[in-house]
Amino acid sequence: MNPMAVPSIKILTRADGGRKVLLSGRWTLNMLAPKIDNLRQALAEQAVAGEVTWNCLDIEALDSTGAILLWRAWQRRLPGLLLARPEQLRIFEHLENADHRAPAREVPHSPFEAAIVLGRGALRFWHSLVDFITLVGQLLLDALHLLSHPRDIPWREIAANLFKSGVQAMPVTALVGFLIGIVLSYLSSLQLKQFGADIYIVNILGLGIIRELGPVLGAVLVAGRSGSAMTAQLGVMR
């Protein structure tokens, strides 16, 4: 660490007997963190010492952490005697504007607030119910139309989606099932060998993979692979 970059405070005496506080180094978060408590205490002691000239010209870098540290030591107002560069003054001005900003006025509570909340909930429920009934009704109308007009059923698109979602996902499903079967067989053999039951590994894999894990893996892979493919296809449509 560069010793010149360490934030430091130097106290000098003016010709009129007042004090001059020289601030130097990099007043940033990473440089202030190791000694922030000591700096906060030193700044507080100098801030209450009457007429003090604050010289910030030797500060190499000043971020929001250093500016807030100084701002709080100055009792949230700019000191009367301050020497600082324009970019430093802009930071302090932003802090001053933020402190003096008028707080947002609270919305007065209405005596009918409970009735208003209940009414809004009832309206949302009513709109949701109407949308649900509309959806179910439209599905029934479309189903009746397709039953009465079988030629309008998009058989080709349905077959294409089944092929893309099911048939093309079979190699990935088989590969994942094969790899999981290897892992289960290896782990099961180590445990069953202690009891002399390693001959039942095939039965365990048959029940575990085919009956239990198979449908779950198939559903997850189809939902992940085919669902993302459909989403991408919809995204590029024009």
Q: State mean pLDDT over 102-122.
A: 76
Helix (H) or strand (E) holding 62, with range, is strand 52-62
Residues 6+ apart with CB under 8 A from 218: 169, 173
- Give the confidence band of 104 by pLDDT, cuts at 50, 70, 90: low
In the prediction, which pLDDT does 4 show?
61
pLDDT, the chain, mean: 84
The answer to pTM > 0.75 is no
Query: pLDDT for 63-79, tens place per residue?
Result: 888 888 888 888 888 88
CA distance 106 to 86: 37
In the prediction, which pLDDT does 105 show?
59
Return the residue matching tokens 């669902």: 227
pLDDT at 102 over 80: no
CA distance 28 to 36: 10
Q: State mean pLDDT over 14-28.
A: 83
> Which token pair is 36?
């922030």
In the prediction, which pLDDT does 176 show?
84
112-116's contacts with Cβ under 8 Å and 24+ in sequence apart are none
> Which token pair is 42?
């030193």
Q: State mean pLDDT over 188-216.
A: 82
Most confident of 60-69, 125-134, 140-149, 197-206: 125-134
